[in-house]
A and B are shown apart, each in its own frame.
Chain A
Amino acid sequence: MAKITSPAELEKLREKILSQRDPDKLCITLCSGSACHATGCDPVADALAEEMEKQGVVGKVDFRRTGCHGFCEQGPILVVYPQGICYLKVKAEDVSEIISATVKGGKVIERLLYVDPNTGEKATLEEDIPFYKNQQRLVLGPNRKIDPKSLEDYLAVDGYQALVKTLFELSPEEVVGEVKNAQLRGRGGAGFPSGIKWDFARKAPGEQKYVVVNCDEGDPGAYMDRSVMEGNPFAVLEGLMIGAYAIGANEGYIYVRQEYPLAVANLTIAIEQAEEAGLLGENILGSGFDFTVKVHRGAGAFICGEETSLLNSLEGKAGEPNARPPFPATRGLWGKPTNINNVETWANIPLVINKGADYFTAIGTEGSKGTKIFSLVGKVNNTGLVEVPMGTTLKDIIFKIGGGVPGGKQFKAVQTGGPSGGCLPEDLLDTQVDFDELTRAGAMMG
């Protein structure tokens, strides 16, 4: 891609991409996150390429490999758009029929549909599946629409629009103000207000400052950060750039844990594409703002999720924690002011800037705004990634979305927030997911 040197050029490119895309054109998407690799999306993709050729639909039908759709247990997941016909647990053997019956004939293949384990009812469309129906996927939404290796796909869903707005319409103070007004709280566990943290780093004395993404995600059972990073690395990158502009940093680091090779791979491509397009580097889009970013792989140490350990590890040292204060906002990486946020926190930033604080604060509870992603695992009917507005009750997550306990067994307890969190028994099922409510109940967000 040629370097883009102004917002007008970016918009022209976006229009060109959109004009080449017909929303009514048939498109097959295949989920290709880590979990779907384990359930065998590669053989399905190979079979698809072969069958499309054989049955002469190449060019008439698009094929896109996307990030995680969240319903990992039912993977590989294949969706035929524009209708949104959703096939689960697809095997290479099913592909020929999918092309001939569904793509060419418009017929639905019953046996590949979702069956509700409680009612026996089938669901044809993705949005009819109870697992999806009760979610609000503001952050995860683009995962199923874009190929994480394609900058064009991200541009087609308004990607980097928030960056343009930030660089050309807002002052750093205004960006911090917007994040403060949105009352966004850190998704990494403690729920510290992000705008206030950004303000500390912005006001901290010093020329050299850093921004950092924490993608260590050490808690077993949690994989929301992995899915965002694998499926939509662009949003994290865009959020990071906006934060860098706001606090006055020109360098960023993204720390990804060792166990997430696909996240590293997709992120690295996203960075290369952004560099090539002039969205990273010097004088981004002609704004005068410079920013570079490096990916740093972890090497297997749980403690590196803690921010001071992570920063030590970034410096090439053992990931041992330091006492705080001083906080990273004043003395972080190499002793310079540093703002570190969790992956999901960063991924919320483009949304906050694009839609504004009022939109964001309209979702959620008094003290916790926006949505939160959870990984629902264990003995529930539907396991996978769930994104719900803050304030949703645990009962709704487990029963409405998760479909309850298999075999109609009695519910015992739910653990939230990983090992640092807590277990909540049945009588606390009406607890809302909200930073303060969960803390009050003795558990944690996450």
Chain B
Amino acid sequence: MDIGKIDQIIDKHDSEASALIQVLLEIQSENKWLPKEALTRVSEKLAVPMSRIQHITTFYKTFSLTPKGRHEVHVCVGTACHVRGAQNILDTVEEVTGVKPGETDPDLNFSVETVSCLGCCALGPVMVVDGEYHGNVEPAETAKVLKDCACSQEQ
């Protein structure tokens, strides 16, 4: 990731150490994951020891220290979605992409994560693909959404 971009994000938060989590969140949304060089830069500029950054990035579930796929799939497994068949959706996702929850395929096509409640429980099960919400999804529709993703990247 471009150091200039990282500096820009840090500057936006006035290089305040208390903004550590916000800075990391922005780097992650820019780059999808947190590479070592980025963390080193953050540590220098915010004057926060690397050990604390390590603690933060492992404590909060959102942060990823490994590369993410081009497409991010989140399947809600909160109570309401669970009751309405989230497991079937997860199975379908794995069938279509070959990726298990918490993992990314070697070609970096898909990353799959489970999440807890997205706050759309009336529509469970809910799946989010690249930030787009899909409510009341069934296995057939799940497969279609993911295949459309895969096609769009081949072009």
Which chain A residues have a beta carbon within 8 Å of chain B's beta carbons? Answer: 34-35, 37-39, 72-73, 75, 217-223, 226-227, 258-261, 296-302, 313-320, 375, 377-378, 383-384
**Contact, CB under 8 Å: A319 / B59:** yes
**Contact, CB under 8 Å: B61 / A259:** no
Which residues of chain A are near B83, meaning CB under 8 Å? 378
**Contact, CB under 8 Å: B134 / A38:** yes
> A299-B60, A316-B17 known; A260 and B123 CB under 8 Å?
no
Which residues of chain A are near B48, meaning CB under 8 Å? 316
12 residue pairs bridging A and B, Cβ less than 8 Å apart = A35-B135, A37-B133, A38-B133, A38-B134, A39-B123, A39-B136, A221-B78, A221-B80, A297-B21, A298-B60, A316-B17, A319-B60
**Contact, CB under 8 Å: B61 / A38:** no
**Contact, CB under 8 Å: A384 / B122:** yes
Out of A219, A223, A226, A299, which one reaches B21, CB within 8 Å?
A299
Give the size of the chain B interface in residues (CB under 8 angstroms).
37
Which residues of chain A are near B134, meaning CB under 8 Å? 38
Which residues of chain A are near B80, meaning CB under 8 Å? 220-221, 377-378
Which residues of chain A are near B135, meaning CB under 8 Å? 35, 38-39
Does B8 interact with chain A (Cβ within 8 Å)? no
Out of A222, A223, A261, A300, which one reaches B131, CB within 8 Å?
A261
Which residues of chain B are near A318, meaning CB under 8 Å? 55-56, 59-60
Nearest Cβ on chain B to A360's Cβ, whole angstroms:
27
**Contact, CB under 8 Å: B119 / A226:** yes
**Contact, CB under 8 Å: B121 / A296:** no
Which residues of chain A are near B24, meaning CB under 8 Å? 299
Out of B21, B52, B63, B123, which one reaches A38, CB within 8 Å?
B123
**16 further interface pairs, Cβ-Cβ under 8 Å (given A35-B119, A261-B131, A299-B60):** A34-B133, A35-B120, A38-B126, A220-B78, A220-B79, A221-B80, A297-B22, A301-B59, A301-B61, A302-B116, A316-B17, A316-B48, A317-B52, A318-B59, A318-B60, A384-B122
> A35-B122, A258-B62, A378-B83 known; A316 and B117 CB under 8 Å?
no
**Contact, CB under 8 Å: A316 / B122:** no
Does B108 interact with chain A (Cβ within 8 Å)? no
- Cα distance A377–B21 in the bound complex, in angstroms: 33
Cβ < 8 Å to A, chain B residues 49-96: 52, 55-56, 59-63, 78-80, 83
Which chain B residues have a beta carbon within 8 Å of chain A's beta carbons? Answer: 17-22, 24-25, 48, 52, 55-56, 59-63, 78-80, 83, 115-124, 126, 131, 133-136
- Cα distance A299–B83 in the bound complex, in angstroms: 26
Which DSSP category, helix, strand, loop or mixed, fits chain A's interface?
A: loop
- Cα distance A308–B27 in the bound complex, in angstroms: 26
> A34-B133, A296-B22, A299-B62 known; A72 and B120 CB under 8 Å?
yes
Which residues of chain A are near B117, meaning CB under 8 Å? 218-223, 259
Nearest Cβ on chain A to B83's Cβ, whole angstroms:
7
- Cα distance A37–B119 in the bound complex, in angstroms: 12
Which residues of chain A are near B25, meaning CB under 8 Å? 258, 297, 299
Nearest Cβ on chain B to A403's Cβ, whole angstroms:
13
Which residues of chain B are near A314, meaning CB under 8 Å? 18
- Cα distance A261–B25 in the bound complex, in angstroms: 12
Nearest Cβ on chain A to B81's Cβ, whole angstroms:
8
Which residues of chain A are near B116, meaning CB under 8 Å? 218, 220, 259, 302
- Cα distance A259–B115 in the bound complex, in angstroms: 9
**Contact, CB under 8 Å: A223 / B121:** yes
- Cα distance A297–B60 in the bound complex, in angstroms: 12
Which residues of chain B are near A219, meaning CB under 8 Å? 117
- Cα distance A383–B18 in the bound complex, in angstroms: 40
Which residues of chain B are near A302, meaning CB under 8 Å? 116
Which residues of chain A are near B123, meaning CB under 8 Å? 35, 38-39, 72-73, 75
